[in-house]
Amino acid sequence: AEAEGTTATWLKKHHLMYTAATRHPLILSIRDGSIDLDSFKRWLGQDYLFVRAFVPFVSSVLLKACRESDNNSDMEVLLSGLASLNGEIKWFKKEASKWGVVLSSIVPQKVNQDYCRFLESLMGPDVEYTVAITALWAIEVIYQQSFAHCLEEGSRTPPELAETCQRWGNEGFGQYCQSLQKIVDRRLLRATDEELKKAEVALLRVLEHEVEFWNMSQG
């Protein structure tokens, strides 16, 4: 049997924070159908801005992979993730018009700005590929786990929110997250102690920012 990866060990070690991020009251309210639609709309507008800032971040990880990776397939995984953001931005626009959310007039809230600034701090050439891709994996897996929970048997997600949950809760996105996790675990096996520490801290910062992002959306 394969030994457990470092990421799995970290998620166990930090399971309280991981649960806070993936089983947030806002997600639970989608799952049980009690969601306040103003919260959903606030999330939608803010997340659109976040995703726009996420594109250059993912690009920066792709660039690091091209320069630093020891494995050819990393670039392909990251390129597929970057490519899917094209459809995601189009989806946000369509979804926003469906809910009457005017994207051009959304002002980024402080929590969102702080999160985007954190992404920027990981984009510099001084940040190691291993650290940056750990953050990317964490950002993606939290949404995947959160929204997949709203699609599980017994959930009472309102039909008008099903498409949102499918976007991050679908099987293909789950596979993408697993591919990212495999890359991270492979990189961490060869990381220095200092890199390991920085990558774990990056995971913790992502967990904190994600909880704050849900809190902000709940208002």
Residues in contact with ligand HMH by CB under 6 A are 47, 50-51, 139-140, 143, 210, 213
Closest CA to 208 of 24, 45, 1: 24
Q: How far is CA 2 from CA 5, 8, 154, 186, in A?
A: 9, 12, 33, 12
68 labelled catalytic: no
Minimum CB separation of residue 187 from ligand HMH in Å reads: 20
Minimum CB separation of residue 111 from ligand HMH in Å reads: 10
From 95, 128, 140, 210, active-site residue? 210
Of 10 and 137, nearer to ligand HMH (C-beta) is: 137
| CA angle, 21 then 171 then 212, to 5° | 15
Of 110 and 190, nearer to ligand HMH (C-beta) is: 110
Minimum CB separation of residue 195 from ligand HMH in Å reads: 23
Can you spell out the DSSP letters for 102-143? -GGGPPPPHHHHHHHHHHHHTSSTTS-HHHHHHHHHHHHHHH
The residue whose Cβ lies closest to ligand HMH is 143
Of 111 and 196, nearer to ligand HMH (C-beta) is: 111
The residues annotated with a catalytic role in the active site are: 210
